[in-house]
Amino acid sequence: MTWIDILIIVLATLAVAGVVAMVIVRKKQGKPSCCSDCSSCAGCSACHTKKQEKTDE
Amino acid sequence: MDQLTFALAGNPNSGKTTLFNVLTGSTAHVGNWPGVTVDKKEGVYKKGDEPVAIMDLPGIYSLSPYTPEEVIARNYILKERPSCIINIVDATNLERNLYLTTQLLEVDIPMVVALNMTDVLKKQGDSIDVAALEEALGLPVVEISALREEGTEELMRRAIEAAKTTRDAFSVLKGIPSYGAIENAEIAFKLKDIQYPLFHAVKLVEKDELEVKSHPAEASAAVEYLKKNMKDASPFGEDTEAEIADARYKYIVENYAVALKRGRERKLGELTRSDKVDRVLTNKWAGIPIFLAILFAVFHLTFSENFLYLGSMIPPFAEFCEGIAAMENPWLSIFFSGDGLNSPGAMLFYLMEACTGQIGDWLGLGLTSMGAAGWAVGLVCDGVWGGVASVLSFVPQIMTLFLLFSILEDSGYMARVAFILDRLLRRFGVSGRAFMPMIMGFGCSIPAMINTRTLADEKERAATVRVIPFFSCGAKAPILTAVAGAIIADSANFHSTDLIVYGMYLLGVLVAILSLLLMRSTTMRGKTPPFVMELPTYHMPRFKNLMLHLWDKLKHYIQKAFTIILVSCIVIWVLSNFSWNWTFLMEEVEGEMINQQMDKSILGSIGMLIQPIFTPLGFGSQLGPWGWVFAVAAITGLIAKENVVATFGALAACVPVAIISSDVEGVGEVATMVAATGINVPALISFIMFNMTTIPCFAAVASAKGELGGKRFAWTLVFWMVTSYVVGSVIYTVGTWGWPALIWAAAAAAAIIGIVIYNKKADKKAKLLK
């Protein structure tokens, strides 16, 4: 196995782990897990009620 | 000192979100129809000496809420007490917009009136005497044009000044017969130390449901007063709601509307340019055919490979195009297909495909030269890039489609479509208002489901949420295009991608209409609510708005391609190249790494296990080798619909070249699978319709859960699964053999008879109970 093969395995593993971690972190932050930042959605606060409640507290 | 907070309040489609975007630098979705904003949205104005929080509220005609989003606006004003209310008034509809202003005056919060769309008013030859209006209202009034970003800084300066002062509540109702009841209730509220006593007193005397529930003692006192004093005092008798509304309009006409200076007197019944256009576009008979023609033009511009049918009309041109296609030059193929000139959308698609193909080639060459093993090249080039590129190839076409839809929305035409479809939809139990969220579903199901909050009837709202995924969203467009391309590759005579995609979209709409009919005549019976919608004035779409819409979609799409889709491709590649005992299935054949045993892979065995489920739909056990790929693609699509095409992209490279004649990116990958599995055209159409009508992506499912909740959501999942299964089965069986149409027709007839009998029994029961 050459260094480039190892690099490809590492990068593929990191990509999978990174995206899964991102989805979990975004969900914890109250952001949607669909990878959209919702910045332009007219109903965006509907997806962020939990976060807002926490802020309000 | 606390940060100042300004609330933007006004009638629907008066330009609140446009102003919000200008003040805060946001890119919130704006549309030329009432009801785009259904939730409050916060931003910060940073251009002044101090930052100011700006709250964009859903549009309201009055402070008496009927729909959920109107409750949000009222509650924010009353409960959060902003430092200042910026009341946005559409200058072209002054009298109607000032109705809300007279209600806001009854709340003692500092207020500034922003006269929006004054540029449009001036174009009509009219003007408003701002000083006179300011004096009559007793409030600062600022002329602005949110669209042209004019007057906004002056507006903020006046609003900041107003926020640092106090304002007493004032009512324009003084002197009306029921005002005694209002005064009594106001005194009672003041004694109880209730905030905004005047506002609550007026609402109580109006017999506002919320108010009567909250203050029953004051309500009965008011009723007593009205019984004693109102019998002969007012032509409205005890109908105080009508009396108060009439008094407000009278006051507006006498005191405020005088500020409006007409450039010239209009004759009675004189039509504006917008009215003249509407006479044609919303015509009783021509309205729907014109809409269908416009929709076809959109699909023709996006998907056609015989633009304007030039190839069919000019035979020498067709021969020329055929000659170019025979050269098989990917760069020339961008402009010409074998049938004629490509449409703008198709040109962009082939350009993107050529680019992604070139990048794939470079990746392969680069990795090989660096000494990467065959499997590693396969993982990166076929697995990851093959899948991601097959999704990215469709970006330009999806953007073209969105651009054309955005132009129709921004111009004001889509609001007309809701109006002309009201007559048709009403027969199926929903009003034309429900069409606006449905049409939003062509972009993305999530905001569309949230927008159903503008529907007052709960059952109509639930039924609409359920059918929204049937309006094919941007993520489903690649499935339609890729499979349509495969159908064409499989057919000798039919070469119209645009017609197939258009037909599939219409089929989705037809399924939605039939589902609505079914739901509204069984589990979700109820009266169709009346439809009142203000038709916005036509205007030229703003370039900046269009680009913001497109940028938002593009950003979302690319983000998805390089996160969820990329990871899915890696997982699919691993699962399709390893067996359960982790044996690597790729073998070196003539110097190339090829996986000829994919059926033994983890993915293959899972695919073969679930494959029989799809047999009635035409893409199950009846297919040849690799047939399970269709079953797997349908399942991976539940994560994100783009995954369907990405799955074909990641797995197509494993199909031996001997079976197929071409091995190209995008459309060719589905064609590869069609050639390898022997799937027929009805099964391909069934596959498209299954993906269009089944459970949508995870994000849309979460949104539906939020909107419907609990038991209704669980039934919604069942509804999606059953609908997709039945629709797919009907298409496949009827398309393949024809005669099952009789069986399906008999089943439909039995269902209709069953529904009629059930409804009659239910009506009888209801009558007896009454």
The most confident of B207-211, B289-293, B374-378, B638-642, by mean pLDDT: B289-293
By the CB < 8 Å criterion, does B16 face chain A? no
Average pLDDT over residues B375-398: 88
DSSP assignments along B747-758, one per residue: HHHHHHHHHHHH
By the CB < 8 Å criterion, does B187 face chain A? no
Q: Find residue B145's DSSP bridge partners.
A: B150
Least confident of B21-35, B612-626, B634-648: B21-35
Q: Is the pLDDT reported for residue B704 higher than 80?
A: yes
Contact B386, B650 (CB under 8 A): yes
For residue B146, the distance in angstroms to the closest alpha carbon of chain A comes to: 17
Residue type, B399: M
Do residue B373 and residue A1 have CB atoms under 8 angstroms apart? yes
Q: Identify all chain B residues contacting A43, using CB atoms and an 8 Å cutoff.
A: 38-39, 447, 450-451, 453
Average pLDDT over residues B2-16: 91
Least confident of A26-30, B204-208, B242-246: A26-30
Q: Is the pLDDT reported for residue B27 higher than 90?
A: no
Paired tokens of B234: 């007012």
More confident residue, B747 or A32: B747
For residue B31, the distance in angstroms to the closest alpha carbon of chain A comes to: 10
B185: helix, strand or coil:
helix
Closest listed residue to residue B400, CA positions, set B315, B477, B287, B463 = B477
For residue B29, the distance in angstroms to the closest alpha carbon of chain A comes to: 5
The per-residue pLDDT for B232 is 66
Average pLDDT over residues B586-605: 82
Q: Is the pLDDT reported for residue A52 higher than 60?
A: no
Contact B69, B21 (CB under 8 A): no
Q: Identify all chain A residues contacting B698, using CB atoms and an 8 Å cutoff.
A: 33-34
Please give the residue of chain A at the shortest CA–CA distance from B381. A8
By the CB < 8 Å criterion, does B602 face chain A? no
Average pLDDT over residues B67-91: 89
The per-residue pLDDT for A54 is 40
Q: Is the pLDDT reported for residue A51 higher than 50?
A: no
Q: Identify all chain A residues contacting B372, using CB atoms and an 8 Å cutoff.
A: 2, 4-5, 8
Closest listed residue to residue B100, CA positions, set B142, B135, B57, B130 = B57
For residue A37, the distance in angstroms to the closest alpha carbon of chain B comes to: 8
Paired tokens of B494: 């039919």
Element (H, E) at B151: none
Q: Identify all chain A residues contacting B402, using CB atoms and an 8 Å cutoff.
A: none
Do residue A19 and residue B446 have CB atoms under 8 angstroms apart? no
The residue written with tokens 């927008």 in the block is B451
Q: Is the pLDDT reported for residue B72 higher than 90?
A: no
Q: Which of A4, A15, A42 sits opposite B370 (nearest CB)?
A: A4
SS3 of B231-269: the string is CCCCCCCCCHHHHHHHHHHHHHHHHHHHHEECCCCCCCC
The pLDDT mean for chain B works out to: 87
Average pLDDT over residues B237-242: 79
Q: Is the pLDDT reported for residue B638 higher than 50?
A: yes
For residue A11, the distance in angstroms to the closest alpha carbon of chain B comes to: 10
The per-residue pLDDT for B662 is 46
Q: Is the pLDDT reported for residue B298 higher than 90?
A: yes
For residue A32, the distance in angstroms to the closest alpha carbon of chain B comes to: 8
More confident residue, A54 or B88: B88
Could you count the other beta carbons within 10 Å of the beta carbon of residue A25?
11
C-alpha torsion angle, residues B529, B531, B533, B535 (rounded to 10): 160
Q: Where are the alpha helices (DSSP H) in B304-384?
A: 310-313, 315-326, 344-369, 374-377
More confident residue, B44 or B548: B44
At A56, is the pLDDT very low, low, confident or very high (cuts 50, 70, 90)?
Answer: very low
Could you count the other beta carbons within 10 Å of the beta carbon of residue B34?
20
More confident residue, B726 or B590: B726
CA distance B39 to B488: 44
Interface confidence, given as ipTM, is: 0.78
For residue B411, the distance in angstroms to the closest alpha carbon of chain A comes to: 19
The per-residue pLDDT for B154 is 94
CB contacts < 8 Å between A and B, how many?
101
At B230, is the pLDDT very low, low, confident or very high (cuts 50, 70, 90)?
Answer: low
Do residue B697 and residue A40 have CB atoms under 8 angstroms apart? no
Q: Which residues of B460-471 are buried (b: 16+ CB within 10 A; e: fewer)?
A: bbbbbbbbbbbb
CA distance B296 to B290: 10
Do residue A44 and residue B697 have CB atoms under 8 angstroms apart? no
Q: Where are the alpha helices (DSSP H) in B16-93?
A: 16-24, 68-75
By the CB < 8 Å criterion, does B27 face chain A? yes
Over residues B272-281, the pLDDT tens digits come to 788 889 999 9
Interface of A with B in 7-26 (CB under 8 A): 8-9, 12, 15-16, 19-20, 22
Average pLDDT over residues B112-131: 90
The per-residue pLDDT for B492 is 64
- Cα radius of gyration rounded to whole Å, chain B: 31
By the CB < 8 Å criterion, does A2 face chain B? yes
Do residue B26 and residue A40 have CB atoms under 8 angstroms apart? yes
Could you count the other beta carbons within 10 Å of the beta carbon of residue B170?
16
Do residue A32 and residue B373 have CB atoms under 8 angstroms apart? no
Do residue B29 and residue A47 have CB atoms under 8 angstroms apart? no
B89: helix, strand or coil:
strand
The per-residue pLDDT for B514 is 93
Q: Identify all chain A residues contacting B572, using CB atoms and an 8 Å cutoff.
A: none
The per-residue pLDDT for B338 is 81
At A53, is the pLDDT very low, low, confident or very high (cuts 50, 70, 90)?
Answer: very low
Do residue B376 and residue A5 have CB atoms under 8 angstroms apart? yes
Please state, for a pLDDT cut of 70, what percent of chain B lies above it: 95
The per-residue pLDDT for B570 is 92
- Cα radius of gyration rounded to whole Å, chain A: 17
By the CB < 8 Å criterion, does B100 face chain A? no
Q: Identify all chain B residues contacting A31, using CB atoms and an 8 Å cutoff.
A: none
Q: Is the pLDDT reported for residue B488 higher than 80?
A: no
Please give the residue of chain B at the shortest CA–CA distance from A18. B563
Interface of A with B in 25-54 (CB under 8 A): 32-37, 39-47
Q: Is the pLDDT reported for residue A38 higher than 70?
A: no
Q: Identify all chain B residues contacting A24, using CB atoms and an 8 Å cutoff.
A: none
Average pLDDT over residues B349-354: 90
The per-residue pLDDT for B663 is 43
Do residue A12 and residue B563 have CB atoms under 8 angstroms apart? no
Average pLDDT over residues B146-169: 93
Q: Identify all chain B residues contacting A1, using CB atoms and an 8 Å cutoff.
A: 373
Do residue B563 and residue A22 have CB atoms under 8 angstroms apart? yes
Do residue A35 and residue B40 have CB atoms under 8 angstroms apart? no
Paired tokens of B444: 């993305």
Do residue B372 and residue A22 have CB atoms under 8 angstroms apart? no
Paired tokens of B756: 């009629």
Q: Which of A2, A33, A36 sits opposite B559 (nearest CB)?
A: A36
Q: Which of B39, B371, B702 sits opposite A42 (nearest CB)?
A: B39
Do residue A42 and residue B564 have CB atoms under 8 angstroms apart? no
Could you count the other beta carbons within 10 Å of the beta carbon of residue B114?
29
Do residue A35 and residue B560 have CB atoms under 8 angstroms apart? yes
